[in-house]
Structure 1
Amino acid sequence: MLDDKKPQTSLIHAPRKAPQYIHSIQPPLFRASTIIFPTTAHLFDRHWSDPYDYSYGTHGTPTTFTLGDQLAEIEGGQYCLLAPSGLSAINLVNSTFLSHGDEVWVPDNIYGPNMEHLNNLRQRYGIQVRIYNPIDAESFIPSEKTRLLWLEAAGSITMEFPDLIQLVRKAQAAQVLTALDNTWGAGLAFNAFDFSNEHLSVDITVHALTKYPSGGGDILMGSVITRDKNLYQQLFKIHANQGICVSGDDTAQIIRSLAHMRLRYQQQAENAQKLLEWLQQQPQCIQVLHPAASNSPGHDYWKSICKNGQSAGLVSVIFDPKYDLAAIRRFCDALNLFKLGFSWGGPVSLVMLYDLKQMRILNNTHLQQGLLVRFCVGLEDPEDLIQDIQNALQQLE
């Protein structure tokens, strides 16, 4: 050991080092690409499949493993991998389990970027993409080539809650993997790994941590969670080979937000419920979509699975067809508290408009004709949000 270091060396190898661990509310933040091995024994007596493989920053640090463990606990899983975004997490699942000639089934209300990725795989690698009606399990007809079934509970735009029990039963009978986009439920509305009296479970959940876990509208991240060690190891190999990793700083921010995620989720759900009840009385809205609404598609499925009555803070409305795109754009532009933007789960309420004719493939008789507007309810006072919409409705005429 060098006792008399030159000044430049002392800047890098400090002569004194404070103790590394104290007890604090938030866990320490580790920023690391290179991870130092104490001895060659630590270097060679390790394997990538170890529960906590500290070999390089892309494989994980105490900070990223801490978040992964917490998310797995919240969602009812056991193994968790982090990705730079929710879409990156979705792509990890597709890339791991779909090969040339395989068939994947997706709901007609699938998250748009997931469908784009699957179409790319179809064009490049011959993946077959099939569409089913999320509230009609009979429309899912797996074949010998079917490898993966995507589920969304609920759909993020038209809010159908799927017939999750029957869909998973059929998938299991056909030995088809099930992957649930669990962003809407956030692991709080129901347990995706134990959601029925017969303890049915999906195989994999994907979660856009950008939404409720982040809570601030300022962090991009995603997760893939499973209970199956074999599935986890398959995912991990692709995860490692593709160099998928996340920032320690972003990870620490989400860890900090998890403590109050349930409180925010419940408050935004309550705000959305008040908005829902008011919107149902407005003549301009011919259909209000929210799983807790008795006439919303899939309400009974939601009620049977989300037994605690939990639901996210999203409400969509379909406007009377007499209002054309120009009128709906005037309405959206007139909103003040609702900001025009994608995503949800942050403190600020958001709004987005959609033309379902450009998005859906099947004949969705459960949806009215007309342009759709989705409200992502934040943490503002719901009375102020209602007043904001009421003012903007005047621009429709």
Structure 2
Amino acid sequence: MSTPPAEPNPHDDTHSASSRLVAAGRHIDRTIATVNLPVTRASSVLFESLAAADAEGAAAMAGELHRSTYATSGTPTTMALMDALAEIEGAPHRCRAALMPSGLAAISVPLLAYCSPGDHVLMSDSVYGPARTFATTLLRRYGVETEFYPPTIGAGIEALIRPNTRVLYLESPGSYTFEIQDVPAMCGVARARGVLTMIDNAWASPVLARPFDWGVDVSLLPLTKYWGGHADLLMGAAIVREEHWLPLWTAVRQLGVCVGGDDAFLVLRGLRTAEVRMRRHEATALEVARWLETRPEVARVLHPALPSHPQHALWKRDFSGSSGLFSFELKGATQAQLAALCERRRFFRIGYSWGGFESLIMPAKIASLRTSQPWTGGPLVRIHCGLEEAGDLIADLADGLAAMAAVASAD
């Protein structure tokens, strides 16, 4: 992008008042260093010459770094966030990042970018529900077949790869049921067979996992969650190895996918405290999870950092910590009992999203969200432990379990 032209001389009275209203205050001739990058709110990008506009357009279309002819390609604020994503999620690997208006867009746009009619996608059976819906509806309408595989299949995924398999889609841990996948083994198989790998890294990013070290090609992030951290924005991102950048960038440009500077600034602000927040989420959730393991109403707690978790060894090998999200299985509960557990809590509020400062609770409805490995356990409840004190959250859940028991007694 070129340097904007200087403002008219304020003492030049040859211009009309209306022209001055348009031109004044659009540039200063001194750079002032601030702690945070200023927010750029823009649509149009200006050039000194037609040749400069043409050259910038060609560079932007080619996906070159920091090149833009329109704010859909990027502004200083959105480019700063793209750079931060590539560095934090990808380094030391050579990666690029594209911003999306939501976490779901960060899933759907890459699948559209890399898949063509006739392709086959292997997707974990424990994926985020809207990702499954996208694969079985819109992606299917475009002639792409999705096959759901057991999340703990590991290197056995090789038996499911076909000549037309284009993408191996992973999510570790899985939604609601928190299976840890052997991602390095699966990526090794996929790479040997020429299959692109994508992972939904919502649970562990930006602090607790290094998916490109595992061999992943594309990491999909809901910046709405821990990156932003305050439940006040919607955004996603796809971080890709540089050799896979151009197809994604082309799809982003052609679909008109972009974000604004204000939301990008909020994510940049959020990432400064991300590690501090995530370590607090981790400690609180582990204390709550251990308490739940002692409760007679609870059949098991699905938290990868607990030694009781079936894939605890994989988690310990691949992750540097755990987030605030996990589930617990009840030995039994009616719908009325689940309502008593979840409703009217002081700190745990009913809500789907997570990764903010607040604690959330939601019963899992996964009967329609598993095909290769249907859920056969009891009622499942997912919670996100926010930044409140662990003791207060435990007391809140204790009240909920007591309310659940009261309903059972009344019945």
Q: TM-score, normalization: structure 1?
A: 0.93
Q: Tell me the residue number matched to 2:90.
A: 76
What is the Cα deviation at residue 17 of structure 1?
Answer: 4.4
> How many Å separate the matches in 2 of 1:320 and 1:361?
23
| 8 Å Cα contact 2:102/2:224 also seen in 1 | yes
| 8 Å Cα contact 1:35/1:55 also seen in 2 | yes
| 8 Å Cα contact 1:74/1:187 also seen in 2 | yes
Q: How many residues align?
A: 386
| 8 Å Cα contact 1:156/1:184 also seen in 2 | no
| 8 Å Cα contact 1:79/1:226 also seen in 2 | yes
Among candidates 1, 23, 28, match of residue 38 of structure 2: 28
> How many Å separate the matches in 2 of 1:17 and 1:134?
55
| 8 Å Cα contact 2:169/2:198 also seen in 1 | yes
Q: Does 1:113 align with 2:126?
A: no
1:203-214 superposed matches below 5 A: 203-214=217-228
What is the Cα deviation at residue 371 of structure 1?
Answer: 1.2
| 8 Å Cα contact 1:63/1:252 also seen in 2 | yes
Q: Does 1:370 align with 2:378?
A: yes
| 8 Å Cα contact 2:206/2:227 also seen in 1 | no
| 8 Å Cα contact 1:207/1:222 also seen in 2 | yes
Q: Does 1:149 align with 2:168?
A: yes
3-state secondary structure, aligned to 2:367: helix
Among candidates 382, 399, 402, match of residue 394 of structure 1: 402
The code of the aligned residue for 1:386 comes to: I
1:262-341 superposed matches below 5 A: 262-306=275-319, 308=320, 310-321=321-332, 323-341=333-351
Q: Say which is worse superposed, 202-211 or 77-86, in terms of deviation.
A: 77-86
Displaced runs of 4 or more, over 4 A? none
Q: Does 1:174 align with 2:190?
A: no
Q: Does 1:94 align with 2:111?
A: yes
What is the Cα deviation at residue 28 of structure 1?
Answer: 1.3
3-state secondary structure, aligned to 1:53: coil
> How many Å separate the matches in 2 of 1:350 and 1:363?
27
The code of the aligned residue for 1:9 comes to: S
Per-residue CA deviation, residues 30-57 of structure 1 (Å, 9 max, x unaligned), is 1111011122232122322221112100
What is the Cα deviation at residue 16 of structure 1?
Answer: 8.3
> How many Å separate the matches in 2 of 1:15 and 1:260?
34
Per-residue CA deviation, residues 256-275 of structure 1 (Å, 9 max, x unaligned), is 11111111011101110101
| 8 Å Cα contact 2:150/2:373 also seen in 1 | no
Unaligned stretches of 5+ residues in structure 2: 1-7, 406-411
> How many Å separate the matches in 1 of 2:287 and 2:15?
68
> How many Å separate the matches in 2 of 1:83 and 1:89?
6
3-state secondary structure, aligned to 2:304: coil
Per-residue CA deviation, residues 220-275 of structure 1 (Å, 9 max, x unaligned), is 0000101223x111100110011100011010111111111111011101110101
| 8 Å Cα contact 1:180/1:204 also seen in 2 | yes
The code of the aligned residue for 2:205 comes to: A
1:36-75 superposed matches below 5 A: 36-46=46-56, 47-48=59-60, 49=62, 50-75=64-89
Q: Tell me the residue number matched to 2:4.
A: none
> How many Å separate the matches in 2 of 1:179 and 1:144?
18
Q: Tell me the residue number matched to 2:141.
A: 124
Q: TM-score, normalization: structure 2?
A: 0.90
Unaligned stretches of 5+ residues in structure 1: 196-200
> How many Å separate the matches in 2 of 1:267 and 1:15?
44
The code of the aligned residue for 2:395 comes to: Q
Using the aligned pairs only, state the percent identity: 34
Q: Tell me the residue number matched to 2:387.
A: 379
The code of the aligned residue for 1:259 comes to: R
> How many Å separate the matches in 2 of 1:15 and 1:95?
43
> How many Å separate the matches in 2 of 1:31 and 1:261?
25
What is the Cα deviation at residue 147 of structure 1?
Answer: 0.3
Among candidates 359, 376, 380, match of residue 349 of structure 1: 359
The code of the aligned residue for 1:375 comes to: I
The code of the aligned residue for 2:300 comes to: Q
What is the Cα deviation at residue 294 of structure 1?
Answer: 1.6
The code of the aligned residue for 2:361 comes to: V
> How many Å separate the matches in 2 of 1:265 and 1:382?
14
Q: Tell me the residue number matched to 1:247.
A: 260
295 and 139 in structure 1: CA distance in 2 versus 1, 3 angstrom threshold = farther
> How many Å separate the matches in 2 of 1:143 and 1:86?
29
The code of the aligned residue for 1:165 comes to: P
3-state secondary structure, aligned to 2:80: helix
> How many Å separate the matches in 2 of 1:338 and 1:393?
13
> How many Å separate the matches in 2 of 1:186 and 1:344?
13
Q: Say which is worse superposed, 47-56 or 340-349, in terms of deviation.
A: 47-56
> How many Å separate the matches in 1 of 2:339 and 2:30?
55
What is the Cα deviation at residue 358 of structure 1?
Answer: 3.0
What is the RMSD computed on CA atoms of the aligned residues?
A: 1.7
What is the Cα deviation at residue 150 of structure 1?
Answer: 0.7
3-state secondary structure, aligned to 1:51: coil
3-state secondary structure, aligned to 2:122: strand
> How many Å separate the matches in 2 of 1:99 and 1:121?
13
